[in-house]
Chain A
Amino acid sequence: MLSTVLEHQIQLFDVYGVGVMVTTDDDRPYRAIESFLEPFVTEQPARSELAFDISTSPRAQQPDPDAQEVWDAGYFRMSKSGSRRYLAAKGYGTGEADLDTGSGRIWVEGWGENYQWGLTRLLFLPMWAMLLKTTGRFTIHAAGVARDGRALLFPVRSGGGKSTLTLNLAKAGYDLLSDDTQFLIPEEGRIKIAPFTEQIALRKGSLTFFPEHGHKPVGEGHRVLVDPAEEGINVVSARVEPGIIAFPQLTGKPESVYEPISSAEALQRLILSSFFFTDQAVLDDHLQVLSTLVAQSSCYRVGVGTRSESLVECVQRMESES
C-alpha cells in the first residue's frame, strides 16, 4: 500500500539512547513534534522502542468507559485501565498509550492558536514520559537551570511558577536545562541531569517577562511557546551533576524565602509528583533513581516572592549553603 505509506510522515528521534518513532498524517502535528523534539532528531536510531501515531482523523474507538480516573484538572484528564492509559485535553484532543507495547496514539481535535502547545505538552509529553519510564529513562516535572556544572531543580505542578523561576534565573545568568522536564540519567551509580531545552511555555502571568514581543494574552490553562535562543537565554549542552532541589510555592509577597528540608521529605514530594502512571514493573527502579537524585542534592522549600532580585538572592544563598 504505497499510497498509504506516503500519506504518513515518519520522524525518528534518539532520546538519550531510546529510539522513538512518530508517525503523523498531517503537516501541522509533524512540525509541532519536530520542533518539540528537535534536540533528539536522528536519521536512524539504534532501535525503535517507542512508537507514536498522531492522527487528525476522528477517533473511531472510544476509551474504556470503566477506566479509573487518575487526574482531573478540568481542561486535562487522565485515566487508566490495565496497561492502557488515557488522556483528554479539552479543545486539543485525546490520547491513549499502552505500556505493554510501548505505543501511543493521539487524536488531534483542535487547531486553535495554541494547538502546538496543547498537542506537545498536554497530549504527547505525558504519554512520552510514561512510556520512556518503561525503557528505564526517567524524567521529573520540574524547571531546571544550571551554573558551574551543577543543576538547580524546581519540581512543581503546572501553573505553579516554573516559568517564572526559569526566566528570572536565566535573566540573572543561569543556563537553562529545561523549563518543564528534566531527564535523570544513571551514570556509574550516580544520577546526572541531561538537558532538554524545548521551547518555554508561558502562561498569562509570565508573558510580562517579554513585553517587547507584544504576545497576545492567553486564557487560563493555555500557553504561548517561546524559543529560549531567540530570547537570548543560554542553554546547557552537556549533562550536569544535581546540586539543589527546591520545591517552590508562590506566596504573592515581595520577598522570597527558603528553608532546608530532609532528604526523606524531598523524596516523598518527588514521588507524589512523578509516580503518576509509572508502570508496576519499573516502580522500584523509578524509586531508586529518585532516591539517588535526592541523596546527591541539597533540598529546600522555597516561598517564591514577586520581586525578581529577591528570588535570585534567595537561590544564590541556597547555592552558597549547599
Chain B
Amino acid sequence: MTQTNETTLRRSAEILTSDINGELVLLNPETGDCYSLTGVGATVWQAIGDATTLDDVVAGVCERFDVEPERAREDAQRFVEQLVGEGLAVREPLA
C-alpha cells in the first residue's frame, strides 16, 4: 500500500524526536536506531500529525520550499515510504 489521499499517516508512538540546532534527530528506543533529518525530510516529519494525508504533507513542503507541487508530491511520497518502511510512521485507512 502506498501513501494516497485515501490513507492517512501518523508518527509511530514510540519514536522520540529532538530538534537540535535546526536538525531533527529521531530515536527508535526499541531498536536503538537513530535518524537525522534536515531540509525537506524534517519538514515532512513536522507535517505529520495524528491523521495526515499526503496532500497535507505536500502543502507543508510547498509552504516551506520554492518547489512545484508535483515535484513536492513525488519527493514527499518517496520519503513517506521510507518513514513507513523504517517503522517511524504508520499508515492507516482514511476514517
Interface residues of A (CB under 8 A from B): 262-265, 267-268, 271-272, 275, 278, 280, 283-284, 287-288, 290-291, 294-295
Q: How far is the CB of A57 from chain B (nearest CB, A)?
A: 36
Residues of A within 8 A of B19 (CB): 291
Q: How far is the CA of A272 from the CA of B32 in the complex (A)?
A: 7
Contacting A at CB under 8 A, from B31-67, are: 32, 34, 36
A264 with B16: CB separation less than 8 A: no
Interface: B90 (CB within 8 A): no
Most buried by B among A278, A280, A291: A291
Q: List 23 A-B contacts (CB under 8 A).
A: A262-B36, A263-B20, A264-B20, A264-B24, A264-B25, A267-B18, A267-B25, A267-B34, A268-B25, A268-B34, A271-B25, A271-B27, A271-B32, A272-B34, A275-B27, A280-B29, A283-B16, A284-B16, A287-B16, A287-B18, A290-B18, A291-B19, A291-B25
Q: Measured between C-beta atoms, what is the minimum distance from A157 to chain B in Å?
A: 15
Q: Which residues of A contact B29 (CB under 8 A)?
A: 275, 278, 280, 283
Does B74 make an interface contact (CB < 8 A)?
Answer: no
- B18 and A291 contact, CB distance less than 8 A: yes
Of A263, A280, A287, which is within 8 A of B23 by CB? A263
Q: Mark B11-26, 1 if CB is under 8 A from A, else 0.
A: 0000010111101110
A228 → B minimal CB distance (Å): 33
Question: Known: A280-B29, A283-B29. Contact between A291 and B20, CB under 8 A?
Answer: yes
Contact B27–A294 (Cβ < 8 Å): no
Beta-carbon nearest neighbor of A293 in chain B: B20
CB proximity of B26 to chain A, nearest CB, Å: 10
CB distance from B11 to the nearest CB of A (A): 13
Q: Which residues of B contact A287 (CB under 8 A)?
A: 16, 18, 27
Pairwise interchain contact B18-A262, C-beta atoms closer than 8 A: no
**How far, in angstroms, from A287 to B29 measured CA to CA in the complex?**
10
Question: How far apart are B25's CB and chain A's nearest CB, in angstroms?
Answer: 5
Q: Is the CB of B36 within 8 A of A268?
A: yes
Q: Which residues of B contact A291 (CB under 8 A)?
A: 18-20, 25
The one of B16, B27, B36 in contact with A265, judged by C-beta atoms closer than 8 angstroms, is B36
User: A290 contacts which chain B residues (CB < 8 A)?
Assistant: 18
Chain B residues, CB < 8 A from A265: 36
Determine how close the nearest CB of chain B comes to the CB of A208; give it in whole angstroms.
Answer: 36
